[in-house]
Amino acid sequence: QLADANGWAATRRGTVIPCPSCRKESRVAAPTPVAAFGVGDEVYALWGHRWYPGVVDEVLEDGYEIAWDEEDASNEIPAARVRARVPVQPVPAPTNTPEPPAAPGTDASAALRTLALQAHAREQAAANSGSAP
């Protein structure tokens, strides 16, 4: 009701507010929805320029009291600067199953060895035939 009395109008894309000085209307972005956390929830909170792990110690009107994991201190943090801490999922260890044996004729190193032996045999045959009187 107060918004209507002041000339404000809520829309899907924000709130239209008249300037108190010139009465020109301008659009103000709608507030971003914030996740709700309860006491004891593990979260990350933005303090300065870095996200720190903590636990919600108290729910306040416009934010949370965050108890830091690495210190014996807590601070009031606005709700927009708090996000959920996603639990780390363990990666399953690879199983040590032996690989099936390669099919005959598919081993590349064996094929290279065979070609090298054949080339060496041809060179020996050529050398022996050229040195015979």
Q: State pTM to two decimals.
A: 0.44
* CA-based nearest residue to 56, from 72, 45, 71, 70: 45
The answer, yes or no, to whether residue 8 has pLDDT greater than 60, is: no
pLDDT at residue number 102: 60
pLDDT tens per residue, range 33-81: 566 899 999 999 999 999 999 999 999 988 999 999 988 899 999 998 9
pLDDT band for position 83 (50/70/90)? very high
Share of the chain above pLDDT 90, in %: 28
**Average pLDDT of 92-100?**
70
- Paired residues of 51 in beta bridges: 46
pLDDT at residue number 133: 47
Taking the CB of residue 78, how many other CB atoms lie within 10 A of it? Answer: 13
CA distance to 5, 7, 22, per residue, from 19 (Å) = 14, 10, 6
pLDDT at residue number 2: 46
The residue among 6 and 83 whose pLDDT is bigger is: 83
Please answer whether residues 16 and 25 qualify as being in contact, where contact means their C-beta atoms are separated by less than 8 angstroms. Answer: yes
**Average pLDDT of 2-28?**
60
The answer, yes or no, to whether residue 12 has pLDDT greater than 70, is: no
pLDDT at residue number 77: 93
Location of structure tokens 């606005």: 78
